Amino acid sequence: MPSQRRTIKLVIPIAKTVDFKPGKRNVFFHILTDCNLSCQHCYIKPEQHGTGSVPGETIEKWLKLFMDEKKESNVIFLGGEPTMHKDLPEAIKTAKQLGYRSVTVDTNGFLFNNFLDKVTPADLDFLSFSLDGPTPDVNDPIRGEGVFETCAENIRKAVAKRFNVSLIYTVSRRNIDYLHRMPDLLVEWGVKRFFIQVIGIRGKPAKNGAGKWQLSPDEWLDNIPPVAVDAANKGITVIYPKVFLKQEETFECAGRVAENYFIFPNGRVYQCPLCEDYPVNAYRIEDDRLIKNDGILEDNFFTLKIPEGCVISKLLQPDNLQYDQDGKPLYKISCCLLKQEIKK
């Protein structure tokens, strides 16, 4: 049964929108697709994204390929589970040497290859753990048996070693009733940054019934902002996607006004994460060069303007939308990369 929810009063601080900024480049580098877990909401599709690992020397070449000294370049190493890659510590150091402004690792918490002994807090701006519940009873049915305890133990170790630790909580109908318990737990663990992420209807959720996962606008808006305020008042910086825009709010597509690259082991490079289930990537890496693909691809849709906001969301996730009796959308879906940030 869901835990008893407590009422959280909305007080300052107020969330601010983190606008897309020209001159900023974010590189989401999936250095492998292998993983020790089989999370029920995993978005990785080996048939689309490749299998195995990017060789260490290739990681260095691709990091150089996407580094632009004239821009604020940031890199996030992902997987699969990136710590399973033996060359990840060297890749982190290389990224720093190349001048990436920030370097982040997103991990499921298992920290393979003695990871914490091979990097220092100076090497890494954030070590971000994924956890989808405040207890094993909530988290483990989604992510796997024993995952909560292992992840929690390694969070404590990372905090003790003075790494900047953040936590990602992917909200769905399966765990939204427990989200309000996370701020106190993060304070107990010493976690300073909290990403509240909306479930993406891609990968496994797209195959296994979006209705089991997807939240309504009311569910999202009634739960996420109050929890974010509670966490912020406890000294935690909270970042979460805006998701729903009022009709009077301006819609912007990150594909048009920002630089975000989602790189996979097979050389596919996407600009929109919603498109990753399909071979519509705007770019590819071939012979260590970035090449623009031809044809009807993801970027062809970025310039289209519709009352619903995000064209890709309208095409792939139409259940996110609601209409009035005249067929007009009640709200717009924001770009999934548009975030709110709230902190004291």
Averaged pLDDT for residues 260-289 = 96
Residues 141, 144: Cα–Cα separation, whole Å:
6
Q: Which residues pair with 259 in a beta bridge?
A: 25
Q: Which band of pLDDT confidence, cut at 50, 70 and 90, is reported for residue 4?
A: low
Does 22 sit behind a cis peptide bond, omega within 30 degrees of 0 on the bond before it?
Answer: no
How do residues 23-48 score in pLDDT, each as one tens digit?
A: 789 999 999 999 999 988 888 888 89
Q: Beta strands 16-18 and 244-245: pairing type? A: unpaired
Residue 234: closest CA among 193, 183, 185, 200: 183
Instruction: Give me the architecture of the 21-342 domain, per CATH.
Output: Alpha-Beta Barrel (3.20)
Q: Quick one: which of 21, 9, 43, 332 has its CA closest to 200?
A: 43
CA dist 111 to 36, 115, 123, 124, Å? Answer: 11, 6, 16, 14
313, containing H or E segment: helix 311-316
Looking at residue 8, its pLDDT comes to: 45
CA pair distance 124, 129, nearest whole angstrom: 14
DSSP classification of residue 186: H
Cα separation, 283 vs 288, whole angstroms:
12
**pTM of the shown model:** 0.92
CA atoms of 22 and 24, how far apart (whole Å): 6
- In whole angstroms, what separates CA 64 from the centre of its chain? 23
User: Is the pLDDT assigned to residue 191 strictly greater than 60?
Assistant: yes
Residue 224: what pLDDT?
Answer: 93
Q: Give yes or no for a cis peptide into 80 (omega within 30° of 0).
A: yes
**What's the pLDDT score for residue 74?**
95
Convert the pLDDT of each residue in 118-157 to its tens digit. 999 999 999 999 999 999 999 999 999 999 999 999 999 9
Task: Check: CB of residue 151 under 8 Å from CB of residue 111.
Answer: no
CA–CA gap between residue 270 and residue 264 (Å, rounded): 9
The DSSP string of 212-233 is GTPPPHHHHHHHHHHHHHHHHH
In the chain, where the domains are located:
21-342
